[in-house]
Amino acid sequence: MLRLRSSVDAGRASHFGAALRQLDGVKRIVRQPNEELGPDCVVFVADVEPAAADQLVVAIAELGIPLDDYILERVDVVAPERRHLTAQGDMGGFAWVEVMGQARANSRPLARYLALINVAAVIAALGVIKSSSILIVGAMAVSPDLLPVCATCVGIVAGRRRLAQRAFVTLILGLTLVVVTATVLTAALKWADLLPHRFTIASSTLSGLAQTDYSTVLIALAAGVAAILSFETRASAAVGVAISVTTIPASAYLGVALGAGGSGKAVGALLVLVVNVGLLILSGSMTLVFQRWLAGRTRGPAQAS
């Protein structure tokens, strides 16, 4: 469920209220005075079904309401129980405007993103060196690469070229940082004679990270679907671990191979990484296209009735 909060000047309040009442999926509309701005301003609060969010934003724009004068936020519904059992009202529906907002927020290489992905690089590199699957999983849990992957897909499907480019650059910057950090760390450990005895990248039991086969393709395609579905919910933190299996391990393996002097394995890891990223974006974009088509098809009959 989404909730609208909007401040409207008193002269347009009646038109705004009428527009809200005409929209299917906008319910429990409350009009109240604005204690801060006085009688010249009115506050509207309403519950909005996700499927109605896009139409609501269009209606607000047509009325000339400034962006700073309204907020559309997601709220958790814990009652009544019947709504959860019957999915009445499409509480978990698809809202394109919400997806776009998430994409814009995660398309830039923020300091926290770079810090987390650098931490993931260190953990993953040590996982490759020590042949530790536990460390690899830990690195995937830390990595935030799910966010720019999904933002890239949203930009592509929405036709927002700048958004797609910005998010893709953020993704590539993060993965490049993983490779560089893993390379420098491995080279430093090798120089300090701290690598395991007679370590070579070929001796790592994780050499499968440099091999591309049918499973690589299927996993990446499935991960792209999961990425988009989780991006639209609060499951992104958990599902991000599964998404990173296609990116962080291969990036770290590439860096360790370069730092340890295994150029042959580095080429294989690079190929795995390129294939995975491409298929992630492909399947994620196709998932969004299908969701938009399905949402439009579902909304059409509802409006006709």
As a whole number of angstroms, the distance between CA 210 and CA 178 comes to 16
Residues 277 and 244: beta-carbon distance below 8 Å? no
pTM value is: 0.78
Read off the amino acid at residue 183. Answer: T
Asked whether residue 302 carries a pLDDT value surpassing 60, the answer given is no
Asked whether residue 74 carries a pLDDT value surpassing 60, the answer given is yes
- Closest C-alpha to 173, from 130, 115, 109: 109
Secondary-structure percent of the chain, ordered helix, strand, coil, rounded to 5: 70, 10, 20
Task: Give the model confidence (pLDDT) of 13-65 as tens digits.
Answer: 899 999 999 998 899 999 988 777 677 889 999 999 888 888 899 889 888 88
Residues 195 and 260: beta-carbon distance below 8 Å? yes
The rounded percent of the chain whose pLDDT value lies above 70 is 88
Total residues belonging to the chain? 305
**Least confidently predicted of 80-84, 101-105, 128-132, 222-226:** 80-84
**Fold (topology level) of 2-93:** Alpha-Beta Plaits (3.30.70)
Task: Give the model confidence (pLDDT) of 215-265 as tens digits.
Answer: 989 999 999 998 888 887 655 555 666 678 889 999 999 999 999 887 777
Structural domain spans, the chain: 2-93, 98-293
Task: Give the model confidence (pLDDT) of 254-294 as tens digits.
Answer: 999 999 887 777 888 999 999 999 999 999 999 999 988 88
DSSP for 70-118?
EEEEE------HHHHHHTTT-TT---HHHHHHHHHHTSS--HHHHHHHH
